[in-house]
Structure 1
Amino acid sequence: MLDFNIDTQKCTSCGHCAADCPARIISMTDGLPAIAPEKEASCYRCQHCLAICPTAALSILGLKPEASLPVAGVDPDQLELLIKERRSVRHYRDENLEPALLQHLLEVAWYAPTGVNSRQVRFTVVDDRVKLAALRSQIMEGLGRLVREEALPEGLGFFADFVRLWEEKGVDTLFRGAPHFLVASAPQDTPCPLPDCLIALSYFELFAQANGVGTVWDGLAKIAIETLVPEARHALGIPDDHLFGYAMAFGRPAISYARTVQHGPALIHRI
């Protein structure tokens, strides 16, 4: 049941909800929006109708308009600065984020768009630096075995250098000393699991940046977990039927940047 309800005292019969419905299942009946029971299964659950109603007359899925945030717009100059000042952080403070902040980052990132509004991206997060240290030890032990057995796959021999740096100097190349680690995964049978995961992590990264939290896209850890030490994936509890989208290490930066960098002109091909 969609629990689609209209407050007739507030509704102005503007028809915006019907016109904007991606599934085209809302019709104007006797001047009021309605969804026929046989069409409810076609609902995307996108909540466009809830968001577009100018008078807060519409509720759906048990969600009330008064619980939503009002749309106020964002300063484009500030958003541009946020995007341009983003850096891959490889030096972190040895401290956990506040639990409430970490939860808030994940909750906001989950608003990222997904194909067909499937909303199946799963965040697997290591929320404590002690837990991440244990994961790091497990992975490094596994990598060490592969090195000693000369069993690293072709093209991945450089992982031996990471093991050497860790064992001889305590240099953490995989996680860069971050206190936290995040994996975005999604069921492989969803319409577009990989793009969904990458978009979700991009949203997480930008909101983290706005909250003074640094991130680094962690392809090395992804390879280690997915390809070289698969038991680490089981330790993280990533479902077997999920595509491992990508991974990100994050935490409070131990460094700060004074200005943006200057990339060359965008590669643009106009048709």
Structure 2
Amino acid sequence: MLEFKIEEEKCIECALCAQDCPVSIIEMKPKPIIRKEREHNCLKCQHCLAICPTAALSILGKKPEDSISVKGEMPKAESLSRMIKTRRSIRKYKKEDLDQELIQELLEIAAYAPTGHNDNAVLISLIDNRTDLHLFREKIYDAIKQAKKNGTLPKQHDLLAYFQRVWENNGIDILFRDAPHVVIATAPAADASPMADCMISLSYFELMANTKGVGTLWNGLIKWVLDDIAPELRTSLGIPEDHLTGYVMLFGKPAVKYARGIQSEGLQVNKIKMK
């Protein structure tokens, strides 16, 4: 049941909901309706709820008064551009956990990321404290060491064996950079665009993290271990078997502060002209 409801005294019959519906299942009779036989086509995108100018429409049990209004302050283009251009990957972290409320706020922002076919199936697996992070780190380094010993370490990942030795012999943590927290974004392989969905979700997470002074690091090295060296670790983390690993991100309070952004090497654009 879509629970598509119209408060008739508020509805002005503007038809914006019908015009904006991606699958065109809303009809004007003269108020908006969705015929029962067409309900299964709904993407559950809530565009109809979002576009209604008089807050007359609710759907999926969601009411307009519970949504965030677009009338509040929005970031200026210059400020957003500056934040993006001065963002840096953080590889030095303070040895302290973030507040749980802050972590929850970042996760909730990630939930607003768009997904292919509106699947909304990205799973964020979170390690929110340094104690569990240290245990996870040991499992990752042990898996690399064991794979090298058994001769099962993929040749393209030989560098990981070096990182493992540096950790074992010198206590230098190249893989985790002593970060206190990690998130792993995964999604069902059968979804429309699982890898892209994960990357977009983590991008939302990272943008919000930067506004809060939280440092992040996209970490493909740990993804290699989870995908190619010790996929059994995914099970121990509670990641479903049918999920693909989108990416891994470290985060925490930065122990380094940058004075300026870098100078980009330039944008590569292929302008298409159809013949």
TM-score by length of 2: 0.95
DSSP 3-state at the match of 2:174: coil
User: What residue is the counterpart of 2:5 in the other structure?
Assistant: 5
* Cα distance in 1 between the residues matched to 2:218 and 2:236: 21
User: What residue is the counterpart of 1:203 in the other structure?
Assistant: 204
DSSP 3-state at the match of 1:157: helix
User: What residue is the counterpart of 1:49 in the other structure?
Assistant: 48
| Residue pair 1:146, 1:152 contacting (<8 A) in 2 also | yes
DSSP 3-state at the match of 2:204: helix
Structure 2 residue 146 is matched with structure 1 residue 161: no
User: What residue is the counterpart of 1:123 in the other structure?
Assistant: 124
What percent of counterpart residues are identical? 48
| Residue pair 1:97, 1:251 contacting (<8 A) in 2 also | yes
Letter of the 1:9 counterpart: E
Deviation at 1:150, TM superposition (A): 4.1
User: What residue is the counterpart of 1:142 in the other structure?
Assistant: 143
* Cα distance in 1 between the residues matched to 2:67 and 2:124: 23
* Cα distance in 1 between the residues matched to 2:257 and 2:42: 46
Letter of the 1:51 counterpart: A
Letter of the 1:61 counterpart: L
* Cα distance in 1 between the residues matched to 2:75 and 2:38: 36
**How many positions carry a matched residue from both structures?**
270
Letter of the 1:96 counterpart: D
1:183-211 CA distance string (max 9 Å, x none): 11111111111111111111111111111
1:156-207 CA distance string (max 9 Å, x none): 2111211111011111111111111111111111111111111111111111
User: What residue is the counterpart of 1:19 in the other structure?
Assistant: 19
Letter of the 1:20 counterpart: D
User: What residue is the counterpart of 1:58 in the other structure?
Assistant: 57
DSSP 3-state at the match of 2:217: strand
User: What residue is the counterpart of 1:37 in the other structure?
Assistant: 36
Letter of the 1:23 counterpart: V
Q: Show the 5 A alignment for 1:1-271.
A: 1-29=1-29, 31-72=30-71, 73-271=74-272
Deviation at 1:70, TM superposition (A): 0.8
Deviation at 1:265, TM superposition (A): 2.9
Distance 1:232 1:22, change over 3 A: same
Q: Which runs of 5+ in 2 are unaligned?
A: none
Deviates more, 1:210-219 or 1:67-76: 67-76
